[in-house]
Homo-oligomer: A and B are copies of this chain.
Amino acid sequence: MVMRVQVDLICIGSELLTGLVENTNAGYISRRLWSCGIPVREQRVVPDSIPHIAGTLRESLRCSEVAICIGGLGPTDDDLTREAVSELLERPLCLDREWLLHLEQIFAHRGRPMPPANRKQALVIAGSRLVNNPRGTAPGAIIPAGEQRWIILLPGPPAEMVPMFEEEILPFLEARCAKAKWRTKLVRTAGCGESELEDRIKKTVLPDGLSLSYVASGGEVLLQLKSCGEAASELLERAAARLRGDLGQYIYGEGEETLAGAVAALFTERRLTLALAESCSGGLLADRLTDIPGSSHFFKGSLVAYSNEAKQELLGIEAGLLEREGAVSEAVALSMARSARKKFNASMGAAITGIAGPESDLSGKPVGLVFIAAAGPSGERCRRLKLPGSRRAVKERAVQALLTMLWRMMHAEEQ
């Protein structure tokens, strides 16, 4: 069956309304649906209350074909999502004997009897489809809710929700809107500001029948391409190829790729290695790189040298240089990059030194002043940055700037 599918997301849990538990589920599902061309009409966060959940669902299904509820499927008294849907649809909750058996086996495997409270996790709305959860005790559900309307229930813990959404829910939704949906492509750029990028793209001839919008996020500018109809995928491919042709020096990837991932891929492909010396970034760049599976193939390590003493003793930066130029200087940044390269025996060394704030160091140099440097087989580079924002923002922007520098150095060599 071909239809339009628009989705409302309803996150359920009083703890989300106190802000003490971070709500990562709404962003994740929205991003994944968007990338598959399925629009989210609205996100809501509501408390564990039967009338509130039922009322929200009623409003949602007036406008959207699908309401996805996340959370409230646990065994405790305040997990009420199943009960709210039962009340809204005026359909009873029935015991799924198979899931009950499965639950009893889970607890038997853990060597203890199933608490009576968990029994309610085997209750399903009459006429609905239970969705398996290999990672927890709460199953999901796909519940028909009237003419072209569905309610989908997912467990709240991301470790259970994400695989269930990817393996069961997304294919279900895609099958229902295969022909009507739009297609999207996300092109990721770094090293060029939004307005400059806009000026450059104005000169690029993009095919008709697609829309382009800009999203600035975490020091990068993302290009959202969107198109509809039979030829959509082909149009998007052509547009992306044109953009790569004209703006290749700024485009590092597409979709879910990250800049750190793109840098890692270039190093790994060319069998080159990288080592760092970090001062004000305090290990954040090493953390980003080691988040990538397989980073041990190219990443040798980082010396987080937070004191001048450590810069001298462990990186071998000359005391005279530190005194003359100060730790936050071009000369010291370059010296740190060279030293990282040598000490870790890496093909390339890179370094960050700066003043993250909130106060300056004894030198009186301004907060936000940062030098980034790289030293490799094809030469050296250094940049002086003046970064705005909080201590954390300065760290993040410095790391982003150095990743951009590394990517562009590697990319330029490719040409």
Contacts and interface: CB of A to CB of B under 8 A. Distances in A.
The quantity of this chain's copies bound in the complex is 2
B16 A34 contact: no
Nearest to A289: B282
Nearest to A315: B301
A183 B224 CA distance: 45
Contacts of A29: 19
Interface in A162-194: 186
Interface of A: 15-23, 26-34, 39-47, 52, 59, 159, 186, 215, 217, 222, 224, 276, 278, 280-287, 289-291, 293, 295-296, 299-307, 309-310, 313-314, 343-345, 356-359, 389-393, 395
20 contacts: A17-B34, A17-B42, A17-B43, A19-B26, A19-B32, A20-B215, A20-B217, A26-B45, A159-B389, A278-B283, A280-B290, A283-B287, A286-B304, A290-B356, A293-B357, A295-B306, A300-B309, A300-B310, A301-B307, A313-B345
Contacts of A215: 15, 18, 20-21
A164 to B, nearest CB: 15
A18 B30 contact: yes
Nearest to A276: B304
A46 B289 CA distance: 35
Contacts of A295: 282, 306
Given A283-B287, A358-B293, A392-B291, A31 B43 contact: no
Given A19-B27, A20-B34, A310-B344, A287 B282 contact: yes
A284 B31 CA distance: 26
A222 B20 contact: yes
A293 B20 contact: no
Given A19-B31, A282-B286, A314-B314, 13 more contacts: A15-B215, A19-B29, A42-B52, A59-B59, A159-B390, A283-B285, A286-B306, A290-B306, A291-B391, A291-B395, A293-B391, A300-B306, A302-B303
Which residue, of A20, A224, A276, has the highest number of chain B Cβ atoms within 10 A? A20
A31 to B, nearest CB: 3
Contacts of A59: 59
A286 B291 CA distance: 15
Contacts of A39: 17
